[in-house]
Homo-oligomer: A and B are copies of this chain.
Amino acid sequence: MSSFENKPVDLKNIRITDPFWKTESELVRTEVIPYQWEALNDRVPGAAKSFAMHNFKAAGRLNRYLAEHPDAKAPVFEDPGFEVLPEDDDHIDPDHFYGFLFQDSDFYKWVEAVAYSLTQHPDAELEAVADEAIHTIALAQTPDGYLDTYYILNGRDASFSNLRDNHELYCFGHLTEAAVAYFEATGKDELLNVARRFAEYIAAHIGKEEGKKHGYPGHEIAEMALVRLYETTKDPQYLALSEYFINERGQDPKYFHLEGHRLRNGQTQKDSDEYYQAHLPVRSQDEAVGHAVRAVYLYSGIADIARITGDEELKAAARKLFRSISREKMYITGGIGATHIGEAFSFPFDLPNDTNYAESCASIGLIFFMRRMLQMEPVACYADVMERALYNTVLSGMALDGKSFFYVNPLEVFPEADIRDERKRHIKTVRQKWFGCACCPPNIARLLSSIGTYAYTENEDTLFQHLYIGADYEKKMKEGNANVSVVTDLSDPFCLKLNYRIDHAPAGFRLAVRRPEWCDDMCFDGVKDEEVTFRDGYFYISKDWKPEDEIKAAVTMHAKLMRADVRVRDDIGRAALVLGPTVYCLEEHDNGKELMRLAVAHDTGSSAVETEERDIGGRKVVGLKLPGLRLNGPSQDVLYTEISEDPETFEEVTLHFIPYYCWCNRGENEMSVFIRKL
Q: Is the CB of B561 within 8 A of A642?
A: yes
8 Å CB contact of A643 from B347, B423, B562, B644:
B562
Using A326-B639, A643-B677 as known contacts, say yes or no to A339 and B421 having CB atoms under 8 A apart: yes
Q: A346 on the interface (CB 8 Å rule)?
A: yes
Q: Is the CB of A563 within 8 A of B639?
A: no
Q: A512 on the interface (CB 8 Å rule)?
A: no
Residues from chain B with Cβ under 8 Å of A640 in the complex? 332, 562-565, 576
Q: Is the CB of A596 within 8 A of B575?
A: no
> A594-621 toward B: CB 8 Å interface, digit per residue (1/0)?
1011010000011000000000000000
Q: Is the CB of B639 within 8 A of A330?
A: yes
> A614-630 toward B: CB 8 Å interface, digit per residue (1/0)?
00000000000000000
Q: How many A residues touch the partner, as a band?
A: 35 or more
Which residues of chain A (568-604) have a CB below 8 Å from chain B? 568-569, 572-573, 575-576, 594, 596-597, 599
Using A596-B569, A644-B605 as known contacts, say yes or no to A422 and B339 having CB atoms under 8 A apart: yes
Q: Is the CB of B350 within 8 A of A562?
A: no
Q: Is the CB of A676 within 8 A of B573?
A: yes
Q: A328 on the interface (CB 8 Å rule)?
A: yes
Look across to chain B and name the residue whose beta carbon is closest to the beta carbon of A425: B341
Q: How far is the CA of A138 from the CA of B561 in the complex (A)?
A: 72
Residue in A326, A575, A643 with the greatest tally of chain B CB atoms within 10 Å: A643
Q: Is the CB of A648 within 8 A of B420?
A: no
Which residues of chain A (73-90) have a CB below 8 Å from chain B? none
Inter-chain pairs besides A328-B639, A564-B641, 14 sampled, C-beta below 8 Å: A326-B639, A330-B639, A341-B423, A347-B416, A347-B420, A350-B421, A355-B423, A562-B640, A563-B648, A565-B634, A565-B639, A566-B631, A566-B633, A567-B634
Q: A560 on the interface (CB 8 Å rule)?
A: yes
Q: How far is the CA of A676 from the CA of B421 in the complex (A)?
A: 25
8 Å CB contact of A563 from B332, B423, B643:
B643
Residue in A327, A342, A596, A633 with the greatest tally of chain B CB atoms within 10 Å: A596
Q: A414 on the interface (CB 8 Å rule)?
A: yes
Which residues of chain A (332-347) have a CB below 8 Å from chain B? 332, 339-342, 346-347
Q: A638 on the interface (CB 8 Å rule)?
A: yes
Q: Is the CB of A562 within 8 A of B642?
A: yes
Can you list 9 A-B pairs with a CB-CB distance of less than 8 A?
A: A326-B639, A327-B637, A566-B634, A566-B648, A567-B634, A573-B599, A576-B640, A606-B644, A643-B677
Q: How far is the CA of A568 from the CA of B639 in the complex (A)?
A: 9
Residues from chain B with Cβ under 8 Å of A643 in the complex? 560-563, 575, 605, 677
Q: A523 on the interface (CB 8 Å rule)?
A: no
> A389-433 toward B: CB 8 Å interface, digit per residue (1/0)?
000000000000000000000000010110011110000000000
